[in-house]
Amino acid sequence: MLGGLLAAAALLYLLASVLMLTHLVGATSSPPARRAATLALGGAVASHVAHDLLRWGAAGRGPFAGIHEGLSTLALVVAAVALGLRLRGGRLETLGVFVAPLSLLMLLASQGAGARPTTPLSGALLGVHVGSTILGTAAFTVAFALAAAYLVQEREVRQKRLRGMFQRLPPLEVLDVASYRSIALGLPALTLGIVTGLLAGVQEAVGRGLPLVEWRHYLALGVWGVFASVLVLRLVAGWRGHRAAIGTIVGYASAVMVLFGYFVRGSGR
């Protein structure tokens, strides 16, 4: 049952991605295709939520135990944001085309070969750590999607292609400002996640006699540094548009590398 729901969610994320992409690059806008994409994304989110709730009920704990479950929850949060934007309407609704494939990849990664049972979370500190890290990373994922959309839309404008994608993607400035706000929201959340994570780690390390600081802590701080730089450069040096979008994508790519590192090296905590 649980596996079936997750498989349905994955298939629907895939279907939503294909439908949204087809709609975005199509020569003309097709309202039925647009509705079908929204339904597929809605179905994916519903299946994903149902899976997590059932597992929660079965395991007696939230879906946050370890990096793998956290990743699946992250996939769900960003997909829910994309669905919300889609249902609200307006030009940001096309963001789903960049988010749905990410949700699919994150969901698959969470169930991938590297996935294995992890230690259930305990303690308020770890709860705050996981919650704020997921919120921060979700905000960065949305910022990444917005930055990617910015670069695509910028390319359309620069290459003077004013039909199709240009008409369906949000205005450049809307994308730029929304990306900035996502980072501005994500950075404090990630800061809190890192600080609480370090504190929880220290507590655990002291108790178990492990080293206080590990390589992944430096990587996490590196990701934080990239996003903080994007924000600071924007405020201080007027970094906007193209540069800010590239900075955001670099920041997100580094976050993905950190996650990859967690998978490869493993994290028992």
Partner 1 sequence: MSGLVVVGLNHRTAPVEARERLAVPPDGLEDAVRAVLALGGVREAVVVATCNRVELYALGDEPDALAGALRQHLLSRGGAGVSLYEHRGEDAVRHAFRVCASLDSLVVGEPQILGQVKEAVAASRAAGGLRGGLGRVMARAFQAAKRVRTETGIAEGQVSVASVAVDLARGIFGDLVGRKVLVVGAGKMALGAARTLARAGASLLIANRSFERAEALAREYGATAHPLSDLGMLLQHVDVAVCSTGASGYLLTRHDVALAMKARRGRGLFLIDIAVPRNVEPAAGDLDSVFLYNVDDLERAVAEGGHGRAAATTDAERVVAEELSSYRAEELAQRGAGPTIVALRRRFQEAAAAEMERSLGGRLRHLGEGDRAAIEAMLDALTNKLLHAPTVALKEAATGADDDGVLRAARTLFALDAEAGGGRPELTAVRAPGGVAAKAKAGTGR
Contact residues: partner 1, CB under 8 A = 91, 153, 157-158, 160, 162-163, 166-167, 170-174, 176, 237-244
28 versus 113: smaller Cβ distance to partner 1: 28
Q: How far is the CB of 172 from partner 1 (least distance, A)?
A: 5
Query: 30 φ, ψ to 5°?
Result: -120, 110
188 versus 238: smaller Cβ distance to partner 1: 238
Q: Are 44 and 106 in contact (CB under 8 A)?
A: no
CB-based burial label for 259 (10 Å; 0-12, 13-18, 19+): buried
Q: Are 42 and 83 in contact (CB under 8 A)?
A: yes
**Which tokens is 234 given?**
């924007």
d(CA 223, CA 212): 20
Q: How far is the CB of 90 from partner 1 (least distance, A)?
A: 10
Q: How far is the CB of 229 from partner 1 (least distance, A)?
A: 15
Cα–Cα distances (Å) from 195 to 35, 93, 201, 208, in that order, read: 42, 34, 10, 20
42 versus 241: smaller Cβ distance to partner 1: 241
157 versus 253: smaller Cβ distance to partner 1: 157
Q: How far is the CB of 92 from partner 1 (least distance, A)?
A: 10
Query: 119 φ, ψ to 5°?
Result: -65, 125
Q: How far is the CB of 256 from partner 1 (least distance, A)?
A: 26
Q: Are 107 and 78 in contact (CB under 8 A)?
A: no
116 versus 160: smaller Cβ distance to partner 1: 160
Task: Tell me the chain's radius of gyration from C-alpha atoms.
Answer: 19
d(CA 69, CA 205): 23
125 versus 174: smaller Cβ distance to partner 1: 174
Q: How far is the CB of 236 from partner 1 (least distance, A)?
A: 10
